[in-house]
Chain A
Amino acid sequence: MADEREGIKVAAAAKPHLAADQPLLRIDGAVKDFGAFRAVDGVSLDIGAGEFFALLGPSGCGKTTLLRMLAGFEAPDQGRILLGGNDIAQALPHERPINMMFQSYALFPHLSVRDNIAFGLRRAGMARGDIAARVAEMVALVKLEGMEKRKPDQLSGGQRQRVALARALARRPQLLLLDEPLAALDKKLRESTQAELMELQRRLGMTFIIVTHDQEEAMTMATRIGVMDAGKLVQVATPRQLYEAPRSRWIAQFVGDINLFEGELQSYDGHRLTIVTRDAGPLVVVEPRVPVGKAKLSVAIRPEKVKLSRRESGGHADQGPAINRLEGTVSDVCYLGGSTTYTVKLDAGGTVQSAIANTVRRDADAYGVNQRVVAWFTSNDCVVLEQ
């Protein structure tokens, strides 16, 4: 199967002529109002050729509106959208070298798979023979051989998704927009399709922008993620940066699970920072990019970075970075198969969650409810955030 797929020749998308440091797409201060509601509020963003970029955010955050502005279905009220240096903000959808894969797929129900894929090619005035060749290439690319004559309602959900992808790719757009492309698929199919999309994007060398509300999906597929909240782009980062160094409490909580302890800055020696927290006592953090000016800060720590030990035994303070030790009692155990999430009621008053990988089959080492434990984490595993 693998050989067969590599045998399919797929020409890379026609690349625009870009200067070395010029981004493929530049969104510059884009604003969109719907009546009194500001859906997109001054978004500026550069996306380079060949990127797999994800726009992530809760529903209603403006990510779909931003995508629709790129496709041309909405015109920005302010700002510019530059594609390869040309302002396309006011161009009509059919004038843009951009294609979109719709959340509902929007396959033409009266046309066969072949005619759906050929639709965009015919509009481009391609020669008959070239269209047939390109359609065959696309059908092979998404593994739909033998389905060419079927109508969309004779296909399964996964097959429809492939037709939509093939149709959007057929014109070799400079930019492919994907609006929640996997939302309608079940979990297993979604995971395999994620891998295929990534492989496809890499092989075609195309630029993908995906909109999703699923942070796992964004983390898995994207090379960079832009997080949106209330119409604003709040952080643009690689998946790792986003997870390990979120810029705000909101982002930290939106992307994955996190323990947050609010407190006040007690001392800062240029390297090591002590924050007295209400729920967990004084915590030591090694944080180079600390907002020192602020007195009220939060310490954030991901559950998988919080370890548990039986009392008196855990954490060797003498070597390596400083360790924060929090004594408490296990109040809840949530077994998830691959890992177990323990909730520990701290003696200081708060709670902390600890996710521990189940690396052995036997549960001899597992902790039980009401067991006294020490929850500990190193000072460089936590992040300091403004409140």
Chain B
Amino acid sequence: MSARRIFARPARFAAIAPYLWMALFFLVPFGFVLKISLSQTAIAQPPYEPVFDLTAGWAAIKAAFGALSIDNFKLLVSDDLYVFAYVRSLTVAITATAILLVIGYPIAYGMARLPTRWQAVAMVLVIVPFWTSFLIRIYAWINILQHDGLLNKILLALHLVSQPVVWLSTDSAMYLGIVYSYLPFMILPLYATLAKMEPALEEAAADLGAPPGAVFWLVTFPLSLPGVGAGVLLCFIPIVGEFVIPDLLAGSNSLMIGQTLWLEFFTNKDWPVASAAAIILLVVLLAPLLLYERVQRRQLEER
């Protein structure tokens, strides 16, 4: 008994450490944002009211609480502009994640089947873009895609087109940028699951009469689902809130929620609406996370 207690103490501390971290760096800031989202915009410093002043006494705090309202949320769900921004964000994220999965899976699968020596090389090749700043890489794409950019020059030189094609400021350019930027986040978890999968499992399926397609869909793919889930979440969630790539590569006629949020915060100085938009985004993103966690737990329980 006593031995167990001695060993349990550091273990217990290790278990609460992530909760402490979450409380300090997520829950507390989240509380601030939530409070601001329930406030009203004001020409003041900070640019919203009411402001809690703990030195003003109990009555003032009570009054401040009374001044909180959900008007910002009502605005967000009733104004087409915001609803469209959410819908567009989700559409872009779903489409881009699907493209990422379709491109990333064969790459990860190919990597996992390479001789061990070459797997390390392939891994480095996947990670190498991270050594250059993300912004510089997106600007490089602008260079390639612009009117007199590399892509158009090549197409013209090959006589594939007679005049420059508009690439920049299109959805295609945005998807290209997103897929390019997020591909490693899709490949790495997929590769991790596929690499540790026993090759004999695929052989056994073939041995039992499954042609190559059936081997993939009946054995390889189901067994790689944890990796698919991790890769999809790692890409989908940040893409929904993506701000830089659509801002630099996509046209300005429709905005994603990240851009809308940025505009509200910095251009309109409407912190409360920006905060409310952030809160709704968070709630929207919690749904796939909870789903993933439930699936994970069910798999663990089945073990």
Which A residues are within 8 Å of any B CB, using their own CB?
A: 71-73, 92-94, 98-100, 102-104, 106-110, 119-120, 123-124, 151, 153-154, 167-168, 171
- Given A102-B200, A104-B200, also A110-B206 (CB < 8 A): no
A106 to B205, CA, bound (A): 9
Asked if B222 is an interface residue, CB under 8 A from chain A, the answer is yes
Asked if B176 is an interface residue, CB under 8 A from chain A, the answer is no
Residue of B204, B214, B218, B222 most packed against chain A (CB within 10 A): B204
- Given A151-B302, A151-B303, also A108-B207 (CB < 8 A): no
* Residue pair B198, A120 in contact (C-beta under 8 Å): no
For residue B208, which residues in chain A have a CB less than 8 angstroms away from its CB? 94, 99, 119-120, 123, 167, 171
Which B residues are within 8 Å of any A CB, using their own CB?
A: 198, 200-201, 203-211, 214, 218-219, 222-223, 302-303
- Given A104-B200, A123-B214, A151-B303, also A92-B219 (CB < 8 A): no
For residue B205, which residues in chain A have a CB less than 8 angstroms away from its CB? 108, 119
For residue A106, which residues in chain B have a CB less than 8 angstroms away from its CB? 198, 200-201, 203-204
For residue B198, which residues in chain A have a CB less than 8 angstroms away from its CB? 104, 106
A153 to B209, CA, bound (A): 24
Q: Name B207's contact: one of A99, A104, A124, A153 (CB within 8 Å).
A: A99
- Summed over the interface, the residue pairs from A and B with CB atoms below 8 Å come to a total of 65
Q: Name A120's contact: one of B209, B219, B222 (CB within 8 Å).
A: B209
How near does chain A come to B240, taking the closest CB pair, in angstroms? 30
A370 to B245, CA, bound (A): 89
A73 to B202, CA, bound (A): 11
For residue A108, which residues in chain B have a CB less than 8 angstroms away from its CB? 201, 204-205, 219, 223
For residue B209, which residues in chain A have a CB less than 8 angstroms away from its CB? 94, 120, 123-124, 171
- Given A106-B198, A110-B223, A151-B302, also A94-B210 (CB < 8 A): yes
Q: Which residue of B lies closest to A112 (CB)?
A: B302
Can you name 25 A-B pairs with beta carbons within 8 Å? Answer: A71-B203, A72-B207, A73-B203, A94-B206, A94-B207, A94-B211, A99-B208, A100-B204, A102-B203, A102-B204, A103-B200, A104-B198, A106-B198, A106-B200, A108-B201, A109-B223, A119-B205, A120-B208, A123-B209, A123-B210, A123-B214, A151-B302, A151-B303, A168-B207, A171-B208
